[in-house]
Copies of this chain bind each other. A is one copy, B any other.
Amino acid sequence: MPFFIYMKNKNFQPIQEIGFSSLIDKISEYDGKENKDIINGIGDDASVLSIDATRALCTTTEIFLEGVHFDLTYHPLHHLGYKIVTAAVSDIYAMNCVPDQILTSIAIPNKYSVQMIEQLYQGVDAACKDYNCQLTGGDTTASHQILAVSVTATGIAQKDKIIYRNTAAIDDAICVTGDLGGALAGLRILMREKEHWKNSDNQQFQPDLQEYEYVVKRQLLPSARLDFVKDISQSEIVPTAMLDLTQGLLADCKQLAVKSGNGAELFTPAVPISLDTRKVADEMKEDVDKYAFYGGEDFEMLFTLNKDHVEKFAEVFDDFVVIGRMTQDKNKFIINTGEGESIEIDL
Interface residues of A, Cβ cutoff 8 Å to B: 1-7, 9, 11-18, 20, 23-24, 26-27, 30-35, 37-38, 40-44, 46-47, 49, 51-52, 55, 57, 59-63, 65, 67-69, 72-77, 100-108, 110-118, 121-122, 124-125, 127-129, 131-146, 148-150, 152, 154, 156, 193-194, 197, 205-207, 209, 213, 216, 220
With contacts A30-B124, A68-B141, A140-B27 taken as known, whether A15 is within 8 angstroms of B101 at the C-beta atoms is no
Q: A137 touching B42 by the CB < 8 A rule?
A: yes
Q: Is the CB of A15 within 8 A of B129?
A: no
Contact A61 B135 (CB under 8 A): no
Tell me the smallest distance from the CB of A224 to a CB of chain B, in Å: 14
Contact at B68–A4, with CB atoms within 8 Å?
no
In the complex, are the beta carbons of B134 and A34 less than 8 A apart? yes
Are B139's CB and A31's CB within 8 A?
A: no
Q: Quick one: copies of this chain in the complex?
A: 2
B135 touches A105 (CB 8 A): no
- B118 A31 Cβ-Cβ under 8 A: no
Q: Is the CB of B125 within 8 A of A63?
A: no
Q: Find chain B residues with CB under 8 A from A148 CB.
A: 63, 65, 107, 148
In the complex with contacts A7-B111, A61-B61, A2-B73 CB distance below 8 A: no
Main secondary structure of the interface of A (DSSP, over half): mixed
A193 to B, closest residue via Cβ: B3
Contact B15 A133 (CB under 8 A): no
Some 12 contacts from A to B, beta carbons below 8 A apart, are A1-B209, A3-B205, A3-B206, A4-B72, A14-B113, A32-B129, A32-B135, A51-B57, A59-B101, A63-B105, A63-B150, A139-B150
Q: Are the CB atoms of B4 and A75 closer together than 8 Å?
A: yes
Known: A49-B136, A100-B37. A128 touches B15 (CB 8 A): no
- Are B57 and A103 in touch, CB under 8 angstroms? no
**Please, how many angstroms separate the alpha-carbon atoms of A77 and B13 in the complex?**
16
Of all chain B residues, the one with the shortest Cβ separation from A106 is: B63
Q: How many angstroms between the C-alpha atoms of A146 and B75 in the bound complex?
A: 21
Please determine whether B114 and A15 come into contact, CB atoms closer than 8 angstroms.
yes
- Contact flag A136-B31 (CB < 8 Å), given A103-B61, A116-B9: yes
Residues in B neighbouring A23, C-beta threshold 8 A: 114, 117, 140
Contacts A13-B113, A141-B20; A135 near B62 (Cβ below 8 A):
no
Contacts of A106 in B (CB 8 A): 63
Asked if residues B156 and A51 are in contact (CB atoms below 8 Å), the reply is yes
9 A-B pairs closest in CB distance: A32-B128, A47-B136, A150-B150, A30-B125, A63-B105, A30-B121, A31-B135, A47-B137, A35-B134
A207 to chain B, nearest CB (A): 7
Given contacts A42-B137, A44-B137, A132-B33, whether A115 and B13 have CB atoms under 8 Å apart is: yes
List chain B residues, Cβ under 8 A from A193: 3
Residue of B3, B11, B101, B144 near A74 (CB, 8 A) is B3
| Structural contact, A114 and B26, CB atoms closer than 8 A | yes
A32 touches B125 (CB 8 A): yes
Candidates B51, B74, B107, B117; contact of A27 at CB < 8 Å: B117
Task: Say whether B32 contacts A134, CB under 8 Å.
Answer: yes
Knowing A13-B114, A128-B31 are in contact, say whether A103-B141 is a contact too (CB < 8 A): no
